[in-house]
């Protein structure tokens, strides 16, 4: 989703200048008011002139965004989030060449009916990696796909991950790739899409 605004916020009894971030599944407010709420917990979002109004945990909330932004935020807050398959850009007409073990239920479901074993048919490469050697293998395999096809590197999240965001990003950038999108796969996996620099 990724919308953000600097605005005035009133959240319950608190008010002040904030930076508000509307993410895929949560609203984050930083500044003179500091709050965080899952979008599924926000009730009755509506645009009232220049103000976005809703309730969170029973407290009234107002964000002075301007009429256009308030309407956009309401729409984003109330539309269902895209599926993982849509976030990854895969489906029956956009097949993925998958490398590595797919043991995560959410990833397995997203890839159902959207994979191929032939590089010539693949529109995207999905590298499920656990170490540097598997990242290198995914980079090598990516060369067989049509020019311009993206590569997703899927790896563990958090401090316990065998290889994390920073290590993957360093390896990919050293190989001439630039990161273009990040998607949460599940509680334990994250994915970053890369494109070859031209």
pLDDT digits (tens, 9 = 90+) for 42-89: 999 999 999 999 999 999 999 999 999 999 999 989 888 789 999 999
The verdict on 39 and 56 lying in the same domain is: yes
Distance separating alpha carbons of residues 20 and 8, to the nearest angstrom = 9
Helices 132-142 and 165-174 cross at an angle (nearest 10°) of: 40
The verdict on 152 and 116 lying in the same domain is: yes
Domain span at residue 109? 84-196
The verdict on 42 and 98 lying in the same domain is: no
**Diameter of the chain measured on Cα atoms:** 59
The verdict on 23 and 7 lying in the same domain is: yes
Which phi and psi angles does 117 have, rounded to 5°? -100, 0
Q: Whole-number mean pLDDT of the chain? A: 94
Last residue of a domain, one of 78, 100, 125: 78
Total domains in the fold of the chain: 2
The verdict on 132 and 167 lying in the same domain is: yes
The verdict on 50 and 18 lying in the same domain is: yes
Which pLDDT score is estimated for 30? 97
The verdict on 58 and 145 lying in the same domain is: no
The verdict on 27 and 96 lying in the same domain is: no
pLDDT digits (tens, 9 = 90+) for 87-112: 999 999 999 999 999 999 999 999 99
Q: What is the DSSP letter of 91?
A: B
Whether the full predicted model's pTM is greater than 0.75, yes or no, is no
The verdict on 90 and 63 lying in the same domain is: no
Distance separating alpha carbons of residues 85 and 89, to the nearest angstrom = 6
Residue 31 belongs to domain with CATH number: 2.30.29.30
The verdict on 63 and 128 lying in the same domain is: no
The verdict on 111 and 38 lying in the same domain is: no
The verdict on 46 and 98 lying in the same domain is: no
> Residues with Cβ < 8 Å from 41, sequence gap 6 or more?
56, 57
């Amino acid at each position: 989703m990724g919308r953000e605004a600097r605005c005035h916020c009133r959240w319950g009894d608190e008010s002040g200048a904030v930076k508000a971030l509307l993410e895929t599944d949560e609203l984050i407010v930083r500044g003179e008011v500091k709050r965080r709420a899952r979008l599924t917990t926000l009730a009755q979002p509506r645009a009232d002139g220049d103000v976005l109004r809703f309730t969170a945990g029973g407290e009234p909330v107002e964000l002075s965004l301007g009429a256009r932004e308030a309407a956009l935020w309401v729409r984003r807050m109330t539309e269902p989030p895209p599926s993982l398959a849509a976030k990854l850009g895969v489906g029956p007409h956009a097949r993925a060449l998958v490398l590595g073990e797919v043991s995560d239920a959410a990833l397995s479901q997203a890839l159902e009916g959207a994979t191929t074993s032939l590089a010539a048919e693949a529109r995207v490469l999905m590298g499920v990696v656990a170490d540097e050697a598997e990242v290198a293998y995914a980079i090598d395999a990516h060369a067989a796909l049509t020019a311009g096809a993206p590569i997703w590197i899927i790896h563990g999240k958090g401090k316990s991950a065998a290889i994390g965001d920073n290590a993957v990003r360093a390896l990919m950038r050293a190989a001439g790739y630039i990161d273009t999108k990040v998607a949460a796969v599940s509680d334990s996996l994250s994915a970053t899409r890369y494109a070859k620099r031209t």
